[in-house]
């Protein structure tokens, strides 16, 4: 869970704080009773999908799947904040098991977003009863994240009166989580009108669920290919009742599901960090614990704790917006996923280094977490797909708003700096304005077709928006006089220095490495990326890292 979620508005969708905590506590009991460390390591070693354990968590005694089903269909009516919190907590236990649970929610999402009332009653009702595993069947071997290139076809079947009674499905899907065990799947196929979602049930003639893949990580999950040979799906299984709406529906799902993958990255990163912190307190080297060695903590611990806190602030902010009813948050979902999964992956990688030889041993778990968390940078759209989405849409927003998109963020941070100078807002304001000018430089010099330049912009955009969310959280906690305010405020300053590094490095890389003549670089952009501004952003950085280490290791 986030270190301090603060007070929440009362008019948001989802559970209240107390109800959400009950679900979190239930997951803790599941861990103790069904998924202790020894069991998790055994599942990983044997590459075993714990079908019975998963089904037990869906049964009447636990019913975790009820969280994401609306109340009118038999669920608890949890919102995005609830799904993020639960997904994050499960990912701290085992990312493979969390993937199986996430796949059920992912498979249900097209029904919730696109299904008719009758379809919701039928299929969501089955999920609530705890009798089914579900899979989301979209990915294909050649299409990947390009949903417009699907090769699985859905050909309409008509009766003698010319009425469509169903569709014949032919094709295949690859890398489908829960695919080998799913009782039904939500399938995206290309109908004559365009991509369309269908519900396909296990046992339908011509539907083959393949053997599970042997994987680098998340070995406690099932990942299987699916093939369809003249599978007849009745017309009532066409989600929404109107063909050709699948691409729009899938994009609606992405804004939500990519936030869930962000939660997975954060949860796995936290799990690795927890192991490191415990180890560092106990491991004595040269007469003192590793936790007292600045080189150890400031290289292998503090940067990851700060990034996880920053990613958490952004994820919570976007989940709150979803629960408030906002719809068009696909880019925010991409930013959350890109940053949080890369942060979790880096944290797990350094956790192995932090434990030395023990980190390489299966018994200490961090090597498993590293193998597991890497997939979060790949599924639901790779990090590079997210960079494409972020840079393209934020570039368009900047140009369309004539610079006001990031200009407004800069103004907000400047105002915050005046009242809360301790949260790093001044650096975030400078970063937003420098980003603005860099975007316009790229636009004016017609560099937007150079993919690597757009990737550099995506990193700048991501870090600025993540950092501003962390500053907002720090400000709120100060206003609430929260016990977690001090740590978050210091972390916001530390992260501001990292944002400054990303902004300066990438702006210089773009403007000097892209080829335009030097006289084409605006003098204001040269000034913003100068050494003086960069130095100011790092003022007191080491002392701030010392202070966070004191808090994290209980020295304060």
391 and 347 part of one domain: no
Could you tell me the pLDDT band of residue 377, with boundaries at 50, 70 and 90?
very high
510 and 422 part of one domain: yes
399 and 477 part of one domain: yes
What are the tens digits of pLDDT across the range 509-544?
Answer: 998 888 765 556 777 777 777 777 788 889 999 999
Q: Can you give the CATH number for the domain in which 267 is found?
A: 1.20.140.10
Q: Give exposure, 527-549, as e/b (b: 16+ Cβ within 10 Å).
A: ebbeeebbeebbeebeebbbbbb
Tell me what percent of the residues of the chain surpass a pLDDT of 70.
97
239 and 254 part of one domain: no
State the total domains in the chain.
4
C-alpha of 386 from chain center: 11
Nearest to 369 by CA among 380, 359, 356: 359
404 and 521 part of one domain: yes
The reply to whether 12 falls in a domain is no
Say if residue 422 is exposed, middle or buried (CB neighbours under 10 Å; 0-12, 13-18, 19+): middle
Return the H-helix or E-strand segment holding 324.
none
398 and 525 part of one domain: yes
Could you give the C-alpha distances from 316 to 164, 260, 403, 470, 475, in angstroms and in order?
45, 11, 26, 10, 15
Q: Supply the pLDDT for residue 426.
A: 97
Q: Supply the pLDDT for residue 391.
A: 99
pLDDT above 70: residue 17: yes
Pairing of the two strands 164-177 and 223-234: antiparallel
Out of 83-92, 442-451, 525-534, which region has the weakest mean confidence (pLDDT)? 525-534
Q: What is the mean pLDDT of residues 163-171?
A: 98
225 and 365 part of one domain: no
Q: Can you give the CATH number for the domain in which 472 is found?
A: 1.20.140
Domain assignment of residue 126, given as a range: 17-132
Single residue among 115, 132, 149 that ends a domain in this structure:
132
Single residue among 109, 132, 155 that ends a domain in this structure:
132
Residue pair 169/234 in contact (Cβ under 8 Å)? The answer is no
The reply to whether 4 falls in a domain is no
Single residue among 374, 391, 409 that ends a domain in this structure:
374
Q: Fill in the DSSP letter of residue 34.
A: T
CA angle 333, 494, 356 (to 5 degrees): 90
Instruction: Look up the pTM and report it.
Output: 0.94
The reply to whether 10 falls in a domain is no
The reply to whether 323 falls in a domain is no
Q: What is the mean pLDDT of residues 417-436?
A: 97
Could you tell me the pLDDT band of residue 2, with boundaries at 50, 70 and 90?
very low
The reply to whether 454 falls in a domain is yes
The reply to whether 259 falls in a domain is yes
Q: Can you give the CATH number for the domain in which 207 is found?
A: 2.40.110.10
> What residues act catalytically?
380
344 and 407 part of one domain: no
Residue pair 103/178 in contact (Cβ under 8 Å)? The answer is yes
Pairing of the two strands 223-234 and 207-209: antiparallel
215 and 114 part of one domain: no
What are the tens digits of pLDDT across the range 277-320?
Answer: 999 999 999 999 999 999 999 999 999 999 999 999 999 999 99
Q: Can you give the CATH number for the domain in which 55 is found?
A: 1.10.540.10
The reply to whether 55 falls in a domain is yes
215 and 289 part of one domain: no
Q: Supply the pLDDT for residue 10.
A: 62
Q: Fill in the DSSP letter of residue 308.
A: H
423 and 534 part of one domain: yes
Task: Provide φ and ψ at 231, rounded to 5°.
Answer: -80, 120
Cα–Cα distance, 75 to 424 (Å, whole number)? 42
The reply to whether 146 falls in a domain is yes
399 and 542 part of one domain: yes
């Amino acid at each position: 869970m986030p270190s301090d979620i603060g007070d929440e508005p009362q008019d948001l969708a989802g559970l209240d704080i107390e109800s959400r905590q009950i679900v979190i506590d239930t997951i803790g009991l599941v861990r103790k009773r069904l998924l202790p460390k020894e069991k998790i390591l055994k599942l990983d070693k044997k590459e075993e999908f714990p079908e019975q354990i998963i089904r037990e968590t869906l049964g009447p005694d636990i019913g975790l799947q009820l969280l994401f089903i609306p109340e009118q269909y038999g669920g608890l009516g949890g919102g995005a904040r609830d799904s993020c919190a639960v997904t994050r907590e499960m990912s701290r236990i085992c990312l493979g098991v969390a993937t199986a649970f996430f796949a059920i929610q992912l498979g249900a999402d097209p029904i919730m977003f696109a299904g008719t009332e009758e379809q919701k009653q039928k299929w969501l009702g089955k999920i609530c009863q705890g009798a089914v595993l579900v899979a989301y069947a979209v990915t294909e071997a050649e299409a990947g994240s390009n949903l417009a290139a699907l090769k699985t076809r859905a050909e309409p079947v008509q009766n003698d009166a010319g009425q469509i009674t169903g569709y014949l499905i032919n094709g295949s899907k690859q890398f489908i989580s829960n695919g080998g065990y799913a009782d039904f799947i939500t399938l995206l196929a290309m109908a004559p009108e365009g991509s369309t979602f269908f519900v396909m049930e296990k046992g339908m003639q011509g539907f083959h669920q393949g053997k599970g893949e042997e994987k680098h990580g998340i070995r406690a999950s099932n990942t299987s290919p699916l093939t369809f040979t003249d599978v007849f799906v009745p017309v009532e299984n066409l989600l929404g009742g109107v063909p050709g709406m699948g691409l729009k529906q899938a994009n609606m799902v992405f804004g939500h599901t990519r936030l869930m993958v962000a939660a997975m990255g954060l949860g796995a990163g936290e799990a690795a960090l927890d192991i490191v912190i415990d180890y560092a307190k106990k491991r004595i080297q040269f007469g003192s614990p590793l936790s007292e060695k600045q080189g150890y903590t400031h290289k292998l611990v503090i940067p990851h704790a700060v990034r996880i806190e920053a990613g958490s602030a952004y994820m919570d902010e976007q989940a709150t917006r979803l629960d408030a009813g906002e719809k068009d948050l696909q880019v925010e979902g991409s930013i959350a996923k890109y940053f949080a999964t890369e942060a979790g992956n880096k944290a797990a990688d350094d956790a192995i280094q932090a434990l030395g030889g023990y980190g390489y041993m299966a018994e200490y778990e961090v090597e498993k977490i590293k193998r597991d968390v890497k997939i979060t940078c790949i599924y639901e759209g790779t990090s590079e797909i997210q960079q494409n989405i972020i840079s393209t849409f934020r570039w368009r927003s900047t140009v369309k708003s004539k610079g006001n998109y990031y200009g407004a963020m800069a103004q907000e941070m400047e105002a915050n700096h005046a009242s809360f100078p301790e949260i790093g807002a001044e650096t975030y304001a400078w970063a937003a304005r420098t980003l603005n000018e860099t975007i316009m430089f790229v636009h004016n010099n017609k560099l937007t077709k150079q993919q690597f330049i757009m990737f550099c912009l995506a990193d700048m955009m991501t870090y600025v928006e993540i950092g501003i969310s962390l500053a907002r959280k720090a400000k709120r906690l100060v206003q609430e006089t929260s016990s977690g305010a001090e740590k978050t405020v210091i972390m916001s300053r530390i992260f501001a220095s990292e944002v400054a590094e990303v902004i300066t490095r990438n702006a210089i890389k773009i403007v000097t490495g892209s080829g335009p003549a030097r006289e084409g670089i605006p003098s204001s952009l040269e000034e913003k990326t100068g050494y003086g501004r960069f130095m100011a952003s790092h003022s007191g950085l080491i002392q701030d890292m010392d202070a966070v280490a004191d808090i994290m290791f209980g020295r304060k």
